[in-house]
């Protein structure tokens, strides 16, 4: 039976060597962005073996320079609730008067909510659920 080394302890040379090994492994796996000339050159050689299309948001230098691409990112979809001015006024009035929400307003709110949820794909709808 091979004797295993003891648990690495802070400051232990083995611990430092292991960290170096793992760091190098991560670099070779492409899990670290190159930060030295040698690693950059190696990454360039590896990347020649494949082709990756640049996203449209990075295709326009002006957009990137001004930061507009970030504001217009459509990757995260959120439900859009159509503004209903009349409903908002009714709700505000009900809140001020302490009265119940009129049934017609309640039905309209429920209909708007269901329409917004239907607009999401099943995956997006699931992602909207709070995580534990």
Partner 1 sequence: MGSTPAQGTAHELDDHDDSDLLACMAMADDDPALARTAWEAYFRRNVEYLYRVCLRAYGGILGGEAGVADLVAEVFRAAYEDADKFDPAGITDPDRLRLRARAWLGWIARRLVQDTLRGRSRLPTRNVELGHWQQTPAVERPRAGASAREQAARQAVASLSEREQLVIRTTLQWYRPEKQYQRLPNDIAADLAKTLGTTPENLRQIRRRAMRKIADLLHDHAAEARKQGKSNG
Q: What is the H or E stretch that residue 93 is in?
A: helix 85-97
Our finding on whether 128 is near partner 1 (CB under 8 A) is: no
67 vs 83 by CB, closer to partner 1? 67
Binding mask 35-74 for partner 1 (x = CB under 8 A): xxx-xxxxxx-xx-x--x-xx-xx--xx-xxxx-xx--x-
Gap between the Cα atoms of 33 and 46, Å rounded: 13
Our finding on whether 77 is near partner 1 (CB under 8 A) is: no
Gap between the Cα atoms of 125 and 77, Å rounded: 10
Residue for token pair 């997006």: 124
Gap between the Cα atoms of 3 and 10, Å rounded: 21
Which positions lie near partner 1, rule CB under 8 A?
A: 2, 4-5, 7-8, 10-11, 14-16, 18-26, 28-37, 39-44, 46-47, 49, 52, 54-55, 57-58, 61-62, 64-67, 69-70, 73, 75-76, 127, 131
């Amino acid at each position: 039976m091979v004797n295993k080394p003891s648990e690495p302890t802070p400051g232990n040379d083995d611990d430092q060597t292991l960290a170096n090994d793992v760091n190098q492994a991560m670099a070779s796996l492409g899990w670290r962005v190159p930060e030295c000339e040698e690693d950059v050159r190696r990454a360039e050689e590896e990347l020649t073996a494949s082709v990756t299309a640049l996203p449209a948001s990075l295709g326009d230098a002006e957009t990137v320079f001004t930061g507009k691409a970030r504001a217009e990112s459509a990757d995260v979809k959120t439900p859009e609730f159509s503004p209903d001015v009349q409903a908002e006024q009714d709700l505000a009035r009900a809140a001020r008067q302490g009265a119940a929400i009129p049934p017609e307003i309640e039905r309209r709110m429920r209909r708007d909510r269901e329409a917004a949820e239907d607009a999401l794909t099943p995956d997006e709808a699931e992602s909207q659920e709070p995580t534990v």
